[in-house]
C-alpha cells in the first residue's frame, strides 16, 4: 500500500481487519505526514508519538471490536482525555490534566480506536482563533472553532476528528477546509466531559472524508449500532432555503448553490425553493441571545478568577450575555421553540434542506474565523446538518454545501447527504 494516509476511515479499518495493513503502520504514516506538514498547518495542540504507536500496537494484538477498530482519531481540545492534557484553547488550563475521558472519547477507545492527540480549538470554542492554518492556503483561516480537526482531516494527518458546534464550529470549518462535517441532532452524543459554553446549543459531532465515515464515527460516539445508510431512491426531494443570512452570501457560495442544485437535478433529484415563516426573521438574533446569555454564565469562574487571561475577543463576544435580562433570554427561547415546531412541517414534503454552509471561501484573514451566520439558525433548531465538499469558489478554495434534516431524523439526513455527496461527485452513492 503506497500511502495509507489517503484511505477513508472505513477503508483503513477494512484493510486492518483483512491483515493488509496494521494500525501501527497507519499511525506511523500519519505521524510522518504530521511531521512534514505541522509547521504549515498546525492542527495539533498535543501529540504523543510513542503513546499513539503503543496504543496502535495494542489494537493490532486484539480481535476487532468495531468496524473502525484500529483507526486513529483526533480529539478537539475541549473534551477531556485521562492521559492527555485538555487546555480548552486557553492559558488558564495550560496545565490541566483530567482524571477521566469525556464519554464520547471513552466510547471510541472501547471501540478499539486510537486517540492520536488533541486538535486545536479556538478559546473555549468561541471566536478567538487558534494557531491552525487552512491546509489549502496557509494565509487563510481554517474556520473555527473545530479548526484543528477540520484541517487535520483535510490535510490527511488524521482520517477522523471530533468537532463541536455552538454556532457554526463544525459546518463552517468543514466547508473552508473541504471535508465532510457532521453536526448531529442536539444532545444525540452525550456531552459528559466537554467544556460547556452554551447548554442549549453545544453539540458534539465530527469531521470525516466521507458521509459513510461520519455515520460510522458518530454512531460509535452515540453508543449506537452502525447502520448502513438507507437508499433514498433515485429521486430524493430537497428544499432549497436561503436562510435569513442570504444577503451575506458571496459569489462563491451563490455559484456553489446553483451548481449543487443543477447536479441534484441532473442526478434525478428534485429541488424546490421555499421561504421560511416570518418568525424565522428573529432566529439569528435569538440564537445570539441564547448563546451569549449562557456563555457569560458558563464562564463565570474564568471571568471572576482569571479575567486577565481571557482574550479581548472572548470578553467582547460574551459581554452582551451579562446585559441580557431573563425576560430577553426567555423571549429567545420562545423564538427557538416556535421555529423548531414550524421547521418540522418542511419535512412533510421534503427529505432534506439544501442551504449554504458558509458565506463563501475561507477569508484571507487569520485573525477572523469567518461568519457563522449560515449555521446559527440550524444550530438553534438543534437539527442534524452535514457539510458536503466537492465545489470550489473563484479563488479555487473549497466551498461546501449544507444538507439539513429534521430533529430526530439523523439517519435519514445522513442518507440524503450521502446521495448528495454522490451527485456532487458525479456518481450515485452506493453506501458501502
**Which of 271, 214, 182 minimizes the C-alpha distance to 431?**
214
List 403's β-bridge partners, or say none. 354, 386
Assess contact for 292 and 321: CB atoms under 8 A.
yes
CA gap 326, 183 in Å, rounded: 28
SS3 at position 46: strand
**Which of 380, 374, 381 minimizes the C-alpha distance to 408?**
381
Q: Which residues are catalytic?
A: 76, 145, 169
Assess contact for 52 and 33: CB atoms under 8 A.
no
Assess contact for 88 and 121: CB atoms under 8 A.
yes
**What is each CA distance from 300 to 41, 94, 304, 310, in whole angstroms?**
33, 18, 6, 12
Q: Beta strand 385-392 with 180-183: parallel, antiparallel or unpaired?
A: antiparallel
**What is each CA distance from 289 to 108, 111, 311, 331, 378, in whole angstroms?**
34, 38, 21, 9, 15
SS3 at position 115: strand
- Burial of residue 281 (number of CB atoms within 10 Å: 0-12, 13-18, 19+): exposed
DSSP 79: B
Number of H helices, E strands in the chain: 14, 11
- Burial of residue 247 (number of CB atoms within 10 Å: 0-12, 13-18, 19+): exposed
Amino acid at each position: 500500500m503506497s500511502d495509507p494516509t489517503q484511505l477513508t476511515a472505513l477503508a483503513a479499518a477494512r484493510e486492518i481487519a483483512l491483515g493488509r495493513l496494521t494500525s501501527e503502520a497507519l499511525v506511523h504514516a500519519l505521524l510522518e505526514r504530521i511531521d512534514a506538514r505541522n509547521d504549515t498547518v498546525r492542527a495539533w495542540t498535543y501529540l504523543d508519538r510513542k503513546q499513539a504507536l503503543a496504543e496502535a500496537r495494542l489494537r493490532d494484538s486484539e480481535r476487532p471490536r468495531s468496524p473502525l477498530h484500529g483507526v486513529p482519531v483526533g480529539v478537539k481540545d475541549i473534551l477531556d482525555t485521562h492521559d492527555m492534557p485538555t487546555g480548552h484553547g486557553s492559558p488558564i488550563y495550560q496545565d490541566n490534566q483530567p482524571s477521566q475521558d469525556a464519554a464520547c472519547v471513552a466510547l471510541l477507545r472501547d471501540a478499539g480506536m486510537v486517540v492520536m492527540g488533541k486538535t486545536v480549538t479556538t478559546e473555549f470554542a468561541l471566536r478567538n482563533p487558534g494557531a491552525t492554518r487552512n491546509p489549502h492556503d496557509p494565509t487563510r483561516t481554517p474556520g473555527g472553532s473545530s479548526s484543528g480537526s477540520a484541517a487535520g482531516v483535510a490535510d490527511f494527518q488524521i482520517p477522523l476528528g471530533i468537532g463541536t458546534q455552538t454556532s457554526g464550529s463544525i459546518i463552517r470549518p468543514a466547508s473552508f477546509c473541504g471535508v465532510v462535517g457532521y453536526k448531529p441532532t442536539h444532545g444525540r452524543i452525550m456531552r459528559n466531559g466537554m467544556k460547556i459554553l452554551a447548554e442549549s446549543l453545544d453539540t458534539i459531532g465530527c469531521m470525516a472524508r466521507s458521509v459513510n465515515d461520519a455515520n460510522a464515527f458518530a454512531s460509535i460516539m452515540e453508543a449506537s449500532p452502525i447502520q448502513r445508510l438507507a437508499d433514498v431512491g433515485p429521486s430524493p426531494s430537497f428544499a432549497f432555503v436561503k436562510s435569513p443570512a442570504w444577503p451575506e452570501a458571496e459569489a462563491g457560495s451563490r455559484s456553489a448553490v446553483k451548481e449543487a442544485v443543477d447536479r441534484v437535478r441532473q442526478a434525478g433529484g428534485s429541488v424546490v425553493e421555499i421561504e421560511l415563516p416570518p418568525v424565522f426573521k428573529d432566529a439569528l438574533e435569538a440564537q445570539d441571545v441564547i448563546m451569549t446569555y449562557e456563555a457569560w454564565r458558563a464562564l463565570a469562574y474564568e471571568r471572576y478568577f482569571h479575567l486577565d487571561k481571557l482574550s479581548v475577543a472572548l470578553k467582547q463576544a460574551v459581554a452582551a450575555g451579562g446585559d441580557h435580562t431573563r425576560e430577553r433570554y426567555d423571549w429567545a427561547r420562545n423564538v427557538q421553540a416556535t421555529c423548531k415546531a414550524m421547521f418540522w412541517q418542511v419535512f412533510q414534503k421534503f427529505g432534506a434542506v439544501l442551504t449554504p454552509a458558509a458565506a463563501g471561501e475561507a477569508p484571507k484573514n487569520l485573525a477572523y474565523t469567518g461568519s457563522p451566520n449560515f449555521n446559527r439558525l440550524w444550530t438553534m433548531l438543534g437539527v442534524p446538518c452535514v457539510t458536503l465538499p466537492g465545489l470550489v469558489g473563484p479563488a479555487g478554495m473549497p466551498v461546501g454545501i449544507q444538507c439539513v434534516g429534521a430533529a430526530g431524523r439523523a439517519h435519514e439526513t445522513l442518507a440524503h447527504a450521502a446521495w448528495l455527496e454522490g451527485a456532487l461527485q458525479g456518481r450515485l452513492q452506493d453506501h458501502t
